Amino acid sequence: MTGVSDARGRLRADLVIEYPFTRTTGPVVGAFMTGLRDGRIVGSRRADGLVFVPAAEVDPETGDAITEIVEVGSTGVIETWTWVDPPRPGSPWEEPHGLALIRLDGADTPMLHGVLVESADDMATGMRVEAVWKSERVGHITDLMGFVPEGTGQEKNGVEGAESTAEGTDETVRSIRTPMRLEYDFIPSAAAQEYLHAYADKRILGNRSPVDGAVFVPPRGVDPRHGVAATEMVELAHTGHVGNFCVTHLPIPGRDDLPTPYVSAWIHLDGADIGFLGLVAGCDLDDVRIGMRVRAVWKPEEELGATAENVLYWEPTGELDVPVERAGNQAWRGSVLGEVVEDA
Amino acid sequence: MTVGSLGELTAVLGVGQTRYQSTRGDVSIAGLVREAALRALEDASCTWADIDAVVIGKAPDFFEGLMMPELFLADALGCVGKPILRVHTAGSVGGSTALVATSLIQGRIHRRVLTLGFEKQSESNATWALSLPQPFSVSINAGAGGYFSPIIRRYMARSGAPELIGCMVAFKDRRHALRNPYAHLHQPDLTFDQVVDAPMLWDPIRFSETCPSSDGACAMVLGDEAIGDAADGPVAWVHGTATRSEANNFPGRDEVNPQASRDCAVDVFSQAGITDPRSEIDAVEMYVPFSWYEPMWLESLGFAELDRGWQMVEDGSTDIDGGDLPVNCSGGVLSSNPIGASGMIRFAEAALQVRGMAGDHQVDGARRAFGHAYGGGAQYFAMWVVGADKP
Amino acid sequence: MREVAVVSSAVHQVEALTFTTDVQLMVPLINQARDSVGLCQDEIGFTCSGSSDFLAGQGFSFVQTLDAVGAFPPIAESHVEMDGAFALYEAWVKLQIGEVDTALVYSYGKSSPGSRRDVLAVQLDPYTMTPLWPDAHSLAALQARRLLESGGVTVEELAGIAVRSQRNAVGNPNALRASADVTVDDVLAGAVVADPLRATDLSAEADGGCAVVLAAGNRARELCDRPAWIRGIDHRVDAQGLGVRDLTRSPSAALAAVRGADQAGFEAAAVDVAELHASSTAQVHLLTGELSLGDDVRIDPSGGSMAGDTLMAAGLVRIAEAARQVTSGDADRALAHASSGPCLQQNLVCLLEGE
């Protein structure tokens, strides 16, 4: 994926991590979800009679399992609350709402859920509330739309204790979907910005270690052997060799741009002392070998951006191979204090 | 050189495992970890109340989409009012978690510690979680297999090993797994030809030479010397522990035989007073997620000479039937891989061997066993040596 | 118990580290912590770090940060997906065994690329809570309201805590929120952002990192004129369900303080200064009570985490700040507190003393 520049030419990209997690519930949490699907709220009862809501599968005091399921009311009292404005991106609500710990009648512990009122002025500890249900429920905490002041539920579109519309209603709920989506600003470091902008000019930069002159591509800003900053940038040739490679037959989920099989190779550029991953193409898969000399194949000028993806792939140059024993990562013979000794 | 571990002697009192399978659809995350923990407690003849501290470990939280799960699992692991730590060292985590737990005993901080590794990978997808997008870069590495296959290619070229050594390892581990009721892959009808003919995933690694993606948990109860002495059943004594880590992708790095691996092995064998691992270790549980890592680690750890590890595979030395150094009698990572637990399973299986409790995959008369885990770009290593006798 | 001390530390916190990677952040901090006691990595016996993948949106992000240590030749090292204070605990345990004499501990957090308050919702019960996405500010607010309505604290007292933090923070280069002149009236004039909390009631979120060197026994005396000895250190966790807990209390904080005091031979209340890892003024108040800190204890001389709160490092920063108080001679005994989880679910207490 490519990024964008802001007004000052600094690169940033949206990084979205999302997945529709499927969680199997086990019997106790499953009973709670089944209850929700059926328009009921259930808790779990400990041997001494204490009722946990939502149903808890373990007693926090002893670590013992709790298995007895009991129904509790769908009305209760607010024990503490806050106001959420604006609603959080991952939440089920689209309007500002209360968020409260609500102790339902028959429960000994309060549960967290939303309170659907107009403003924080309508919220109060001690206020009695009642559940408002979605008319279509699947067995999920969001089958509850939220809670409203007791007596006002009918106005809210949900129906108290409505029949479940889920298929197979005699079966217990065993799993739930809990999608997660987190968004991040991905902003490359200053050194990385320089490296990426250079790519836009079809230049490939690396870092030189201040300790012994070893050249790292991409520039990492540090020599990892010594834990010291590496700030000197050097420009590298667009040619090199395959230090090692992998022929991938198993596709990465969601990557239609990368049809299998493909060759990912450790490209050792001339003048660099470590490799980086690049696609090798422009030849038969079977021809790819350690030591094969390659050169960069760039995107057309009009498609260039500030990204390493400017290099579409690496193709064989047809020159004599680098001998296998000299290809790829080599025992480092450079000395400290900047004196670089050539490989024997 | 120190013979015997420093500090308080540590005993493995109990081991508990879940059946490893691709989806444990019958339990919640809490249910999964409790299953292993309760079995370990029962094996150790103790209850939640006897445990002083809990150390859990697992791989990236993106696998389950649950950040810092020690917080959610405090109740489930009987840990309210107690200390809980959560270790994360990539693939080696199960091993390093056991080592953190061991250090609590060695340092005389606690007397009985529950340690556990788990992964409920079915809640997402392992390849997705291992290949998260990276803007501005060329993201083409397809998971762990994509990373390790070039390294294996190097080993094959360097050692001159016959092409099918990897298949032999895979076939052996899957046969071993048939003797382990907990193992994920049970393939009683598998033939060697089927292993060879399986499709390539990341050349030269075939589908048949690759670990599965498993849900599962593994737990151990550790105790100090007095508690170990008082135990009803057999215990395993810790003879040596070591971790080593090294940076990734730098000039001069030997990726096939990382120095961190060699140094870690030298350290742990030195602590255990072992000078000839091949003859002094009776059973090995090593972390082999892709078949070729068996000969590679045999060399790196000092069980075989460089470039000769594959001969041990070829001549059957690592087979439970007839081999003098059985490796992964449990079926290994190749047969079960809940990533966060796999390292701990290796450590726990080593303990089961010297306790004589490995059932149908017991190595007769095993007195000393070796547990091994690795992670990251083959840069994190955790190892232990356990024995039936005190060090 | 083997004598172990904090002999050096390095801290850096700012509002946002936009163009700096975790590695670039940590290279100078780790080098500074080691250099100030004249140690190179080869001489460090054990290294331990704390960080979270979720902050960066990158699995295994801590692997890259190992670059900052110079981990070659290979090192004995481990990592917790927790605040660095817990990494320090693990290192302290390692030193107790006697095999090594020095340890390097580091942690960092760069939460500015994401929405920290929303990322933290993923720490909760994944079945019944996270799908409602209760963000961290909302949870802090629920706890604060419980405290206010139980009569445990007043809004003015909370404002006073905010003022104290800002005034103490003056001169602290790692504080984001510092003011010599701010008054309770100024604070109360601010808008409520997470009812009943104002922006000044919530800790100032920061990016940053921290590195600490520990040493044992005479090694510590060789490296540092006045080591900050760890006389007691303990951590505990409470139940995970918010409904199960009394949000006006944090039993794990109290218990960790008691256990730490047993080791130290002096009570938490007997310290000169205390650095608290709280994400709200209400939590500062709650902890002051749980740790029995009287008026004679100077609380948060650095401004505390209220003045600069780096997720995953704030606890380690508290230990570093408390240790500095001791090493500089400003205090003879100090308490450093670290927390994790919603509403102070998990707590670590470290009792430090100068010789």
DSSP string, C55-101: HHT-TTHHHHHGGGTT--S-B-EEEESS-HHHHHHHHHHHHHHSS-S
In chain B, whose CA is at the least distance from the CA of A172? B26
Q: What is the dihedral of CA B355, B358, B363, B368, to 10 degrees?
A: -30
Read off the pLDDT band of A255 (50, 70, 90): confident
B3 at interface of C, judged by CB pairs closer than 8 A: no
Rounded to 10°, the helix C136-149/C155-168 angle is 120
B149 close to B304: Cβ distance less than 8 angstroms: no
DSSP string, A170-238: TSPP-EEEEEEEEEEEE---HHHHHHHHHHHTT-EEEEE-TTT--EESS--SEETTTTEE--EEEEE-S
Identify the sign of the CA torsion A200, A263, A265, B286. positive
Question: φ, ψ for residue B310 (rounded to 5)?
Answer: -65, -25
Predicted local distance difference test score (pLDDT) of residue A157: 55
| pLDDT, tens digit (0-9, with 9 covering 90-100), for B204-227 | 999 999 999 999 999 999 999 999
B295 upstream amide cis, omega within 30 of 0: no
Read off the pLDDT band of B142 (50, 70, 90): confident
Predicted local distance difference test score (pLDDT) of residue C60: 74
Predicted local distance difference test score (pLDDT) of residue A156: 60
Bridge partners, residue A246, by sequence: A264
B257 at interface of C, judged by CB pairs closer than 8 A: no
Nearest by Cα to C232 from C275, C276, C264: C264
Nearest by Cα to B233 from B150, B102, B356, B119: B356
| Contact across the interface for C133 and A33, Cβ inside 8 Å | no
Distance CA A200, CA B286 (A): 46
Structure tokens at B253: 């790095």
Predicted local distance difference test score (pLDDT) of residue C62: 83
- When CB atoms are compared, the residue of A62, A178, A188 closest to B136 is A188
Rg of chain C over all Cα atoms, to the nearest angstrom? 19
pTM: 0.96
Whole-number Cα distances in Å, B211 to A165, A290, B31, B373: 41, 26, 24, 14
| pLDDT, tens digit (0-9, with 9 covering 90-100), for A307-323 | 888 999 999 999 999 99
Looking up tokens 């495992």 gives B17
C126 at interface of A, judged by CB pairs closer than 8 A: yes
Read off the pLDDT band of A254 (50, 70, 90): confident
A228 close to C27: Cβ distance less than 8 angstroms: yes
Structure tokens at C263: 């080791």
Residues of C in contact with A187 (CB under 8 A): 18-19, 113
Predicted local distance difference test score (pLDDT) of residue A3: 54
- When CB atoms are compared, the residue of B67, B104, B258 closest to C52 is B67
Chain C residues 163-202 within an 8 A CB cutoff of chain A: 194-196
Q: What is the identity of the amino acid at B55?
A: V
Lowest mean per-residue pLDDT among A179-183, B136-140, B356-360, C18-22: B136-140
B199 at interface of A, judged by CB pairs closer than 8 A: yes
Nearest by Cα to A235 from A275, A198, A209: A198
| Contact across the interface for C77 and B61, Cβ inside 8 Å | no
Q: Is C265 exposed, middle or buried (0-12, 13-18, 19+ CB in 10 A)?
A: exposed
A240 close to A268: Cβ distance less than 8 angstroms: yes
**Interface confidence: ipTM more than 0.90:** yes
When scoring A5, A58, A79, A88 by the number of chain C Cβ atoms within 10 A, the one with the most, hence best to mutate, is: A88
Whole-number Cα distances in Å, B9 to B70, B268, C79, C290: 27, 15, 24, 36
Bridge partners, residue B215, by sequence: B21, B120
Q: How far away is chain B from the Cα of A53, in angstroms, using its nearest Cα?
A: 15
Residues of B in contact with A269 (CB under 8 A): none
Distance CA B346, CA B352 (A): 10
Chain A residues 56-115 within an 8 A CB cutoff of chain C: 56, 60, 79-84, 88-92, 99-101, 103, 109-114
| Contact across the interface for A3 and B136, Cβ inside 8 Å | yes
Chain A residues 225-254 within an 8 A CB cutoff of chain B: 225, 244-254
Q: How far away is chain C from the Cα of A131, in angstroms, using its nearest Cα?
A: 15
Distance CA A53, CA A72 (A): 8
Residues of C in contact with B92 (CB under 8 A): none
**How large a percentage of chain B has pLDDT more than 70?**
99
| pLDDT, tens digit (0-9, with 9 covering 90-100), for A128-177 | 999 999 999 999 999 999 999 999 987 665 544 444 444 446 689 999 99
Q: How far away is chain A from the Cα of C146, in angstroms, using its nearest Cα?
A: 6
| pLDDT, tens digit (0-9, with 9 covering 90-100), for C261-296 | 999 999 999 999 999 999 999 999 999 999 999 999
- When CB atoms are compared, the residue of A103, A142, A187 closest to C19 is A187
The mean pLDDT value of chain A amounts to 89
Residues of B in contact with A63 (CB under 8 A): 48-49, 75-80
When scoring B41, B245, B250, B259 by the number of chain A Cβ atoms within 10 A, the one with the most, hence best to mutate, is: B250
- In chain C the first and final C-alpha atoms are separated, in Å, by 16
